[in-house]
Structure 1
Amino acid sequence: MADSTDITPVPFDIDESLSMMRLFDDGMAWLSNNYIELLVTIVIGTFIFFLLGAMKRYAARQVSNNEGLIGYRAIITQAIARTSKFFMFMVSAQLVVTYSNAPADIVRAVSFLFTISIVLQVAIWLRELILGFFTRKLSSDPNQSDTLQSAMSLIRVLVTCVIFAIAIIVILDNLGVDVTGLVAGLGVGGIAIGLAAQGIFSDLFSALSIIFDKPFRRGEFISYDNTTGRIEEIGLKSTRLRAVTGEEVIISNTNLLDKEITNLTQLGRRRTRYGIGVIYQTKPDDARRIPSLLKQIVEENGAKFIRSGFVGFGDSSINFELDFDIISSDYEVVYEGRHKIGLAILEKFNEEGLEFAYPTQTTFTSAPDGKMIMPYPEGGFPVHMQES
């Protein structure tokens, strides 16, 4: 008696098999009918592949030999050096299938892979170009090296996320995926994150504005509101100053840029004005000599005389003004120069017998008929004053 074995039939997709056979037959027909065009395009594609590879190797050598140099040429060279082999291969493959009358299925497959490769490669090139541009701009000021490192770390993350997110969306769109919901979701998520970290991003972009626009740099003297000080550090969120009175002042970058800032370092010179008052008993000839005396004092102390002259009659003084410039951007030099000129004016006026005025009042007494009299008898002080 023969054994009977149950054999479970294996599912077989006849349509799939026929499709594969048809693709194979089309491929063989393509090879037999277009082998000359195929050989020519393969040779050309291979040449292009090696040409792109040679360009990449040349760019990589240039980057290695010029390490540390930052310029537009170096930025472009760095981007070329990041060309991927996958992109080079797909460029060659796209050329082959385009000009060799390849079957439609092969053309679609290669075109799809070529689209992915070119989108990713463009994203890589854009990332290198943008980061290179930021590095070049930020590295132009060696005093900002600490801020540069912190800023570049954050910029690198932001640029990479944004560029490759766009690249992924483009690839999915080419696959036929509906990316409308994804774009809307990313937009809503970005708005939510922006609102949650509004203060942080505001200070960050303000720091980048300071680094790029350079209204001031570390080590320079600035003045805003009632604060004057030297910039000690420009951070991603705040700027630290050392005030002329000695204390450290910390202000957020956003608040600082909202103010009217005077960069005292960029002046190259500092102007000082002195108001000088002499007593009314000063003789007119002596008063006429005051501007020339002040000019002599300023020039003897290495400053630049601007102007000096009479400006008005005060309650207790005849008023003059002196304007002069100290040719220096260093606040300490300016401070010392004002000190020397002020003391020199005091010394010169004492030598010339010119008296500085100060608030005084003189009381005159008159008799009932209007005649001026002494406020006490000519024989001496009043009795009650003598007894006291």
Structure 2
Amino acid sequence: MSFFDQFIWGNSVGTWLTALAVALATWGILRALTPRIIRRAKALSKSTSTYVDDAVVAAANATRDFFYAFVGLYAAVRFVELPGNVDSVFGQVLVSALLIQVGFWLVAGYRSFLSGARDARYPDDPEVATSFHLIQLVGAVVIWSLVFVFVLQAWGVNVTALITGLGIGGIAIALAVQSILADLFASLSIIFDKPFVVGDYLTIDDYRGTVEEIGLKTTQLRSVSGEQLVFSNSDLLRSRIRNYGRMVERRGDFNFGIVYETDPDVVARVPGWVEEIIAAQPMTRFDRCHFKTLGQWALEFDAVYYMTVPDYKVFMGVQQSVNLALMRKLAAEGVGFAYPTQLHYERRIDDSQPGVDAIR
């Protein structure tokens, strides 16, 4: 009997050598060709505008060396006969290796897909990048948890009771951290929907301030008086927020009154004076000025204009200039501003008039 015909563990030496050659050849071919195919696919994916193909390439690039080895072993065992218990264990090992490799593929593809979506919609935004990293971490934990459960099932572990226990425990944990999760999801909503960003000036109920930081649980503002305001993200989204940072123009309106003794022809010229005064100011757009009503002690006017920049300091400076120019113009035209007054009329009663005795 030749050396190759001798039997070892139920198979001839020649069969074992054939299986070894198949294993090494399969491993070598996969190890050599796969990186080249991935590089070619990566070059092709860069020429497209979608990021789905980038995710597929990233998933393929996550193939581990142990997977090539197990594929080679799987091809090799087709040539040999193994004892039943050994074959069963080997099959479980192969399935476990495949599941772990699937986990690497899914995590890599998932992360690449999210990164592509982030770069497409929110380029160069550090806050969004932080949130996407959190989402990637949560997704990776979910994927590896599922892989772990499937591996246990491949080894014959009854995972039904385990999943039930995890479900009950998950409900208990969710109830315990309900407020934290609410703030976390609110933070993601703030970052993705962007109702405000760092640097915006907000009015929230009776509080005002500039956004300094948007965290996972809280958002911090700096008030106009200097103190720091801290809001939980969930409470913040439930409030009525006025965002002055999104203003494109600022509307200015003011009222003033002149005395009743003013000549009607002069009253008719007042709106034109106001328009000239506002038009002379920088970064303004006149809207209207009207003789609004006959008030109790004044002829009342209402004026509206717009600032082409939203800056509040600039707006107040322009309003001050308008007020001073209006005072000078009315003074030059001999028109006085009205202020609350009361006139008392006295009249002598003639004794000859009827009803005088009743009045007395």
| TM-score of the aligned structures, taking structure 1 as reference length | 0.70
Offset of residue 283 of structure 1: 2.1
Distance 1:83 1:39, change over 3 A: closer
The 5 Å alignment of 1:93-112 reads: 93-94=73-74, 96=75, 111-112=91-92
Offset of residue 234 of structure 1: 1.3
Look up the equivalent residue of 1:356 and give its one-letter code: F
Offset of residue 285 of structure 1: 1.8
For residue 209 of structure 1, what is the aligned residue in structure 2?
Answer: 189
For residue 353 of structure 1, what is the aligned residue in structure 2?
Answer: 334
Q: Distance in 2 between matches of 1:333 and 1:144?
A: 31
**1:305 matches 2:291:** no
Q: Distance in 1 between matches of 2:294 and 2:59?
A: 73
Look up the equivalent residue of 1:189 and give its one-letter code: G
**1:50 matches 2:70:** no
- Quote the sequence identity (%): 30
**1:90 matches 2:91:** no
Q: Distance in 1 between matches of 2:227 and 2:333?
A: 42
Matching residue within 277, 282, 303 for 1:322: 303
For residue 259 of structure 1, what is the aligned residue in structure 2?
Answer: 239
Offset of residue 314 of structure 1: 2.2
Structure with the greater alpha carbon radius of gyration: 1
Q: Distance in 1 between matches of 2:123 and 2:321?
A: 35
Q: Distance in 1 between matches of 2:255 and 2:235?
A: 35
Q: Distance in 1 between matches of 2:8 and 2:163?
A: 37
Distance 1:361 1:91, change over 3 A: farther
Look up the equivalent residue of 2:309 and give its one-letter code: S
| Cα distance per residue 1:283-304 (max 9 Å; x no partner) | 2222222222222222211201
Q: Distance in 2 between matches of 1:245 and 1:354?
A: 40
The 5 Å alignment of 1:189-208 reads: 189-208=169-188
Look up the equivalent residue of 1:347 and give its one-letter code: R
Q: Distance in 2 between matches of 1:141 and 1:53?
A: 30
1:297 and 1:344 in contact (8 A); partners too: yes
Offset of residue 259 of structure 1: 1.9
For residue 226 of structure 1, what is the aligned residue in structure 2?
Answer: 206
Look up the equivalent residue of 1:291 and give its one-letter code: P
For residue 382 of structure 1, what is the aligned residue in structure 2?
Answer: none
Distance 1:39 1:141, change over 3 A: closer
**1:162 matches 2:142:** yes
The 5 Å alignment of 1:12-31 reads: 24-25=9-10, 27-28=11-12, 31=15
Q: Distance in 2 between matches of 1:343 and 1:183?
A: 76
Offset of residue 53 of structure 1: 4.1
Matching residue within 140, 154, 157 for 1:174: 154
Q: Distance in 2 between matches of 1:314 and 1:184?
A: 76
1:276 and 1:319 in contact (8 A); partners too: yes
Distance 1:84 1:143, change over 3 A: closer
RMSD after superposition: 3.9
Matching residue within 333, 336, 339 for 2:314: 333
Distance 1:48 1:128, change over 3 A: closer
Offset of residue 111 of structure 1: 4.6
1:221 and 1:230 in contact (8 A); partners too: yes
2:292 and 2:302 in contact (8 A); partners too: yes
2:187 and 2:217 in contact (8 A); partners too: yes
For structure 2, list consecutive stretches of 5 or more residues without a partner in the other structure.
1-6, 352-360
Q: Distance in 2 between matches of 1:224 and 1:117?
A: 54
Look up the equivalent residue of 1:352 and give its one-letter code: E
| TM-score of the aligned structures, taking structure 2 as reference length | 0.75
Q: Distance in 2 between matches of 1:322 and 1:181?
A: 74
Distance 1:224 1:284, change over 3 A: farther
Offset of residue 169 of structure 1: 0.8
Q: Distance in 2 between matches of 1:290 and 1:321?
A: 11
Matching residue within 260, 263, 274 for 1:283: 263
Offset of residue 247 of structure 1: 3.9
Q: Distance in 2 between matches of 1:170 and 1:360?
A: 88
